[in-house]
Structure 1
Amino acid sequence: MLGNMSKIIGQMQGLQETLKSLTVEGNGGKGVVKVIMNGQQNILAVRFNPDLVGQIDSIELGQMIIEAYNAAQSNSKEKAKEEVSKITGLNLSNLPGLF
């Protein structure tokens, strides 16, 4: 039993490292804003399309940032779920709210 627990702990530590190095992105405003995030849902970068950003008012730009963040977070959660499924062998798609 303890040997199994040690294996699971090792796998979870490996998962954390995998999620930390995994990157996803989300776009807002049809490419005006891009949020790049890792699998632990930490924002790594926010990028703006310089050709388009100057034409947008601050309120609309704020909404685009939120849109991009939410898309990146959704992508990050999906990738995390895939990684956990690889390690556990379980199909987690039927467990809403887990990620």
Structure 2
Amino acid sequence: MFGNMAKVVGQIQNIQQFLKDMTVEGTAGDGLVKVIINGQQSILAVRFDPDRISAVEPEALGQMITEAYNQAQLESKEKAKEEVTKATGLNLSNLPGIF
């Protein structure tokens, strides 16, 4: 029984490391804004197209940042779900709220 538990703990640790190392990019405004996050949903960087940023109103820029983050977050969750499914063999797509 404990041997199996060690395997599960190892799988969880591998998944946690994968999520920490994974990066996903979301964009908005036709590439004006880019938000890069990891699999733990932490923002790693926010980047702007320097040639076009000065023409954007602050409110619109805020909306673009939100849109880019939400896009990156969705992709990150999908990749995390795929990794958990691959590591555990369990299909978690029918369990709402996990990802």
Task: Report the TM range for the smaller structure's normalisation.
Answer: over 0.9
Alignment correspondent of 1:80: 80
Other structure's SS at 1:71 match: helix
Post-superposition Cα deviations, 1:24-67, rounded to whole Å, max 9, x if no partner, equal: 11011121100001111111110001121111000000000000
Deviates more, 1:44-53 or 1:88-97: 88-97
Shift of 1:96: 2.6
Corresponding residue for residue 64 of structure 2: 64
Tell me the secondary structure at the aligned position of residue 67 of structure 1: helix
Query: Equivalent pairs: percent with the same residue?
Result: 66
Cα offset, 1:91, TM superposition: 1.9
- The aligned length equals 99
The Cα of 1:6 is off from its aligned counterpart by: 1.1
Alpha-carbon deviation of 1:93? 2.2
> Cα offset for 1:2?
1.4
Which residue identity is paired with 2:67? E
What code does the residue aligned with 1:76 have?
A: S
List alignment gaps of at least 5 residues for structure 1: none
- Structure 1 residues 12-21 or 85-94, which shifts more? 85-94
**1:15 CA displacement:** 0.8
Any runs of at least 4 consecutive aligned residues in structure 1 with deviations exceeding 3 A, and if so which? none
2:15 counterpart residue number: 15
What is the distance in 1 between the residues matched to 2:24 and 2:41? 9
Does residue 4 of structure 1 match 2:9?
no
Q: TM-score, normalised by structure 1?
A: 0.94
Gaps of at least 5 residues in structure 2 are: none
TM-score, normalization by structure 2: 0.94
Residue type matched to 1:97 in 2? G
